[in-house]
């Protein structure tokens, strides 16, 4: 038995993901209230950048400031240590969210009952599916009118490609919303709109009992019985293992704003959500209960203040115990390092910690030693696998606008890419650098940061590209032939891998047809 097993097994590290506006911030805040981490509503700032303010630098700086403070929110609840990892609200920073998902053991997805499954949820769920991350769905805003719950469940299954199992069921919605029947705990959670919280919590093993009519009106009782019978008939009994395997998502209904159904979600969550799970490294699988510390950097947060060029590297502890001032190996450098002021985030306060355990996140102040994906160990030569890069959606040539500052520009580009701000491709035909992003905002952030942190000026030039595809083939001759034929469109990514830059979906389709021996991948790991 490992030394720290009690500490490790009580940890629950997860992220809440949603399409903007579904209620992620509100739900986070309510969870923190239960944990006593905050005491008043409104304490958690939304890290959304207002949609209209795409070029408002103050706004972006503010957002970055906030997101450092709320990067990890930790609190104790019912003998468990909960670590909520924050994800950026703005879709232009989706890459950040993808990477954060490499550091969590499970996920809660928030869906708006009226809007159903939206674009960003779909994308984030893809990453969860790839990693087999267990997910719980919270259907929010039941105090508003929305889709029929059964239709919504079908939509979730279809759009998110995951089987669902309702663990609570709404009694009406909108103005007539009366609460939920908690199938998991066999309790009736009643709601009075004016009171805005769970007004009654009644043990109710058998909803066929005529007692039900004491609590809700006969029409609603009849409908609830019918619905629950249907659920038991259509959906398999809930099995924790299928949830943990990432095959079934339990679904809860509630209203985060009204604090309705949130405690019930949290109580079920701490019971069924996984404690830290084993993590696959290149060399072997690492068990969280191993005595020796291991961890990896999943996020780097630069200080935007040019007078203090420093970063925080966020490390997810994969095994054992991390200790302040101990010597740990920075595997990529092959050298030992000591960290004298690691920080953790407890109850929204950032503080220096002496120790942390598998499942926790520590922030290490850094001056450019870390890249995303770097591994730290007690001495072992180990490489955790990061998240693959996805093909960016937008591309631009980056050019130097100040010939005296070429060196600064190159250094700036390199460091920003290490931080994971965007992806760099170097065209092998003309040597030009191409930056790929998921949104326009990232180009603006890069330009701003190059100027303010590196004193370098860049300008963007248009390039019309559809996708970046990582290519491979067992047939070296076919590969060489393809690269020769597509010379002008061949680039190398930052790791030196071959990337084909397709300028339209048609051209890509033709290439796939004409070169059957070449495999085209839309992510960098295959
Ligand atoms: P996000 O982080 O996922 O982007 O969403 P956020 O929590 O900021 O919520 C988006 C909007 O939805 C907010 O309103 C919030 O008050 C509202 N909301 C959240 N949960 C519920 C719910 O259960 N019922 C109802 N009716 N509304 C809910 P807003 O007007 O955009 O912002 P605010 O001015 O109220 O903060």
Per-residue pLDDT, 32: 86
Rounded distance from Cα 285 to ligand 1 centre (Å) = 41
385 close to 376: Cβ distance less than 8 angstroms: no
Tell me which of 67-71, 179-183, 327-331 is least confident.
67-71
Return the pLDDT at 52: 39
Give Cα separations from 333 to 93, 317, 365, 445 (angstroms): 29, 19, 17, 29
pLDDT tens column, 465-517:
999 999 999 999 999 999 999 999 999 998 899 999 999 999 999 999 999 99
How many angstroms is it from 20 CA to the middle of ligand 1?
9
Q: Which of 87-91, 371-375, 496-500, 516-520 has the lowest mean pLDDT?
A: 87-91
Distance 2 CA to ligand 1 centre (A): 43
Q: How far is the CA of 203 from the centre of ligand 1 (A)?
A: 30
Q: What is each CA distance from 486 to 86, 342, 479, 481, in whole angstroms?
A: 41, 48, 10, 9
Could you tell me which residue, 196 or 34, shows the higher pLDDT?
Answer: 34
- Angle made by CA atoms 81, 250, 124, in degrees to the nearest 5: 80
Name which of 322, 323, 344 is nearest 72 in CA terms. Answer: 344
Q: Whose CA is nearest to atom 4 of ligand 1?
A: 21
pLDDT digits over 31-89, tens only? 988 877 666 655 555 544 444 334 444 555 555 555 555 578 888 999 999 999 988 76
For 267-326, the pLDDT digits (tens) are 999 999 999 999 999 999 999 999 999 999 998 887 655 556 678 899 999 999 999 999
Alpha carbon distances (Å) from 508 to 172, 491, 501 = 49, 15, 9
Is residue 136 pLDDT above 90, yes or no?
yes
Average model confidence (pLDDT) across the chain: 87
Nearest to 422 by CA among 404, 458, 452, 446: 446
Q: Whose CA is nearest to atom 22 of ligand 1?
A: 141
Q: Counting Cβ atoms within 10 Å, is residue 342 exposed (0-12), middle (13-18) or buried (19+)? A: buried
Tell me which residue has its CA closest to atom 15 in ligand 1.
23
| Ligand 1 pocket by Cβ (under 6 Å) | 18, 20-26, 46, 48, 89, 140-141, 143-144, 255-258
The Å distance, Cα 469 to ligand 1 centre, comes to: 38
Helix 57-69 to helix 440-454 angle, to the nearest 10 degrees?
90
The pLDDT tens digits for 387-418 are 677 788 899 999 999 999 999 999 999 988 88
Taking the chain, what is the end-to-end CA distance rounded to the nearest angstrom? 36
Q: How far apart are CA 124 and CA 138, in angstroms?
A: 15
CA–CA separation, 31 vs 28, rounded Å?
5
Q: Which of 75, 72, 90 is nearest to 39 (CA)?
A: 75
Residue whose Cα lies nearest atom 25 of ligand 1: it is 141
Q: What pLDDT does 205 receive? A: 81
pLDDT tens per residue, range 225-280: 999 999 999 999 999 999 999 999 999 999 999 889 898 899 999 999 999 999 99
d(CA 4, CA 151): 45
The ligand 1 atom nearest the CA atom of 255: 23
pLDDT of residue 196: 58
pLDDT in tens, 414-465: 988 888 888 999 999 999 999 999 888 889 889 988 998 889 999 999 999 9
Report whether pLDDT(131) > 90: no
Ligand 1 centroid to 106 CA: how many Å? Answer: 23
Higher-pLDDT residue of 156 and 307 is: 156
* Pocket perturbation via mutation, ligand 1, pick of 17, 19, 26 by most ligand atoms within 8 A of CB: 26
Q: Nearest CA to 235 among 220, 223, 246, 251?
A: 251
pLDDT recorded at residue 49? 43
* 3-state secondary structure at position 68: helix
Q: Answer whether residue 152 shows pLDDT above 70.
A: yes
Q: How far apart are CA 474 and CA 429, in angstroms?
A: 24
């Amino acid at each position: 038995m490992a030394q720290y097993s009690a500490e490790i097994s009580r940890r629950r590290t997860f992220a809440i993901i949603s399409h903007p506006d579904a209620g992620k911030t509100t739900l986070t805040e309510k969870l923190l209230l239960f944990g006593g981490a905050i005491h008043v509503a409104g304490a958690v700032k939304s890290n959304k950048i207002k949609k209209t303010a795409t070029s408002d630098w103050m706004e972006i700086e503010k957002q970055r400031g906030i997101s450092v403070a709320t990067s990890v929110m930790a609190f104790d609840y019912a003998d468990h240590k909960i670590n909520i990892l924050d994800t950026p609200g703005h879709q232009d920073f989706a890459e950040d969210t993808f990477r954060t998902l490499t550091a969590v053991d499970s996920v809660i997805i928030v869906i708006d009952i009226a809007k159903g499954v939206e674009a960003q949820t779909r994308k984030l769920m893809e990453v969860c599916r790839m990693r087999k991350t267990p997910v719980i769905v919270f259907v929010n805003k039941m105090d508003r009118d929305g889709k029929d719950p059964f239709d919504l469940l079908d939509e979730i299954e279809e759009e998110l490609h995951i089987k669902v199992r309702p663990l609570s069921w709404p009694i009406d919605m909108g103005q007539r919303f009366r609460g939920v029947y908690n199938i998991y705990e066999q309790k009736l959670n009643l709601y009075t709109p004016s009171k805005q919280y769970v007004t009654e919590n009644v043990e109710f093993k058998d909803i066929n009992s005529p007692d039900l009519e004491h609590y809700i009106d006969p029409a609603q009782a009849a409908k609830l019985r019918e619905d629950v019978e249907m659920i038991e008939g259509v959906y398999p009994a809930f099995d924790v293992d299928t949830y943990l395997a990432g095959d079934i998502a339990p679904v809860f209904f509630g209203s985060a704003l009204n604090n309705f159904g949130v405690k019930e979600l949290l109580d079920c969550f701490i019971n069924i959500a996984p404690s830290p799970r084993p993590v696959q490294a290149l060399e072997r699988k690492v068990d969280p209960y191993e005595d020796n510390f291991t961890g990896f950097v999943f996020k780097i947060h630069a200080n935007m203040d040019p007078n203090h060029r420093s970063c925080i590297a966020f490390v997810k502890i994969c095994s054992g115990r991390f200790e302040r001032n101990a010597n740990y190996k920075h595997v990529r450098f092959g050298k030992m390092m000591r960290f004298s002021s690691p920080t953790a985030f407890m109850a929204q306060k950032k503080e220096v910690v002496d120790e942390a355990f598998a499942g926790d996140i520590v922030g290490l102040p850094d001056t450019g030693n870390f890249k995303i994906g770097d591994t730290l160990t007690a001495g072992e030569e180990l490489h955790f696998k990061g998240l693959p890069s996805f093909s960016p959606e937008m591309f631009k040539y980056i050019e130097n606008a100040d010939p005296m500052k070429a060196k600064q520009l190159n250094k700036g580009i390199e460091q920003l890419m290490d931080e994971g701000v965007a992806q760099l491709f170097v065209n092998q035909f003309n040597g030009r650098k191409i930056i790929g992003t998921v949104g326009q905002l990232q180009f603006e952030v890069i330009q701003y940061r190059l100027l303010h942190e590196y004193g370098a000026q860049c300008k963007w030039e248009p390039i019309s590209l559809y996708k970046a595809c990582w290519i491979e083939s067992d047939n070296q001759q076919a590969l060489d032939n393809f690269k020769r034929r597509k010379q002008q469109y061949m680039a190398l990514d930052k790791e030196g891998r071959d990337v084909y830059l397709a300028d339209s979906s048609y051209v890509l389709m033709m290439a796939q047809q004409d070169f059957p021996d070449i495999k085209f991948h839309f992510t960098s790991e295959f």
